[in-house]
């Protein structure tokens, strides 16, 4: 995929920011910070535009809470002005993240999602007798900032945009150099993008036909348990050495036994 440039100027236009404001407000308009932003909407959008251009961004003011989905997760949600910024970035950049992803990944993509992933998984389960299930240990907390930014630079060449990405990434646990906040729109797309490199390894290097990924939950299908054991070793080696990610205990089983 050819690197793309000249996206940054489109992010800070008032037209883009106004679209981003309306998208950021879906389901959030009764929040106090959203109401305060709306009271001086035009001025706040102009301030945000200047902040994007100068690098002085309204970032880092997070609100944390726990959810169970079904396991317990700590959600770190940005303030409303930062939500607007994130929506502006994705309004411009999402098509390029989308082009990078393969057909077999289903999170954070329009027209896809969990049900589509399950449909694809059921189809592969009918055609292959064995499967390998992989899951990343504490995925969002484990993503290395430096490697993520290096990978982003392989797709985006606009220096101002890369600087903006770096500012957003390093606001959260920048002292540790790892981790993205669950609850941020950019985090979801960055995380999905980062494992896109694993997707390509599976399809282009290992030549696996049966494969489905939903964020950091991955299932691969094959014709024998021995084949799946070899695939598991290759996958874990790539994840550890190339992406600095650790997997949870894996599972190899017959598709005749069903899948969780």
Question: What is the DSSP annotation of 108-159?
Answer: T-TT-SHHHHHHHHHHHHHH-SEEEEEEBTTHHHH-BHHHHHHHHHTTB--H
Residue pair 192/217 in contact by the 8 Å Cβ criterion = no
Q: Is 162 exposed, middle or buried (0-12, 13-18, 19+ CB in 10 A)?
A: middle
Higher pLDDT, 16 or 113: 16
Q: What is the DSSP letter of 27?
A: T
pLDDT averaged over every residue in the chain: 92
Res 30 pLDDT > 80: yes
Dump pLDDT digits (tens) for 79-92. 899 999 999 999 99
What's residue 64's pLDDT? 63
Spell out the residues 6+ positions from residue 41 whose beta carbon is closer than 8 angstroms to its own.
21
Dump pLDDT digits (tens) for 168-185. 999 877 678 999 988 899
Q: How many residues does the chain have?
A: 260
What's residue 226's pLDDT? 96
Band the pLDDT of 256: cuts 50, 70, 90. confident
What's residue 28's pLDDT? 86
Mean pLDDT to the nearest integer, 114-138: 95
Higher pLDDT, 2 or 241: 241
**Matching residue, tokens 């027209």:** 111
Per cent of the chain over pLDDT 70 is 93
What's residue 60's pLDDT? 59
Band the pLDDT of 63: cuts 50, 70, 90. low
């Amino acid at each position: 995929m050819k690197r793309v440039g000249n996206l940054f100027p489109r992010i800070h236009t008032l037209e883009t920011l106004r679209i981003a404001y309306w998208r950021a407000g879906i389901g959030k308009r009764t929040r106090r910070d959203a109401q305060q932003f709306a009271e001086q909407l035009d001025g706040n959008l102009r301030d945000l535009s200047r902040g994007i251009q100068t690098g002085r961004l309204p970032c880092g003011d997070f609100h944390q809470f726990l959810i169970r989905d079904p396991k317990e997760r700590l959600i770190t949600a940005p303030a409303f002005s930062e939500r607007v910024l994130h929506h502006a970035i994705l309004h411009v950049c999402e098509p390029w993240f989308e082009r990078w992803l393969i057909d077999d990944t289903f999170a954070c993509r329009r027209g896809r999602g969990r049900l589509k992933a399950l449909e694809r998984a059921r189809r592969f389960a009918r055609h292959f007798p064995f499967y390998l299930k992989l899951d990343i240990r504490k995925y969002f907390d484990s993503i290395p900032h430096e490697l993520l930014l290096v990978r982003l630079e392989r797709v985006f060449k606009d220096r101002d945009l890369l600087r903006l990405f770096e500012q957003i990434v390093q606001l959260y646990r920048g002292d540790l150099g790892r981790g993205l906040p669950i609850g941020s729109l950019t985090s979801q797309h960055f995380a999905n993008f980062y494992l896109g490199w694993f997707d390509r390894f599976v399809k282009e290097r290992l030549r696996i036909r049966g494969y489905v990924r939903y964020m950091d939950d991955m299932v691969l299908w094959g014709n024998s348990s021995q084949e799946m054991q070899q695939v598991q070793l290759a996958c874990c080696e790539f994840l550890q050495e190339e992406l600095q990610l650790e997997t949870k205990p894996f599972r190899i089983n017959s598709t005749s036994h069903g899948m969780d």
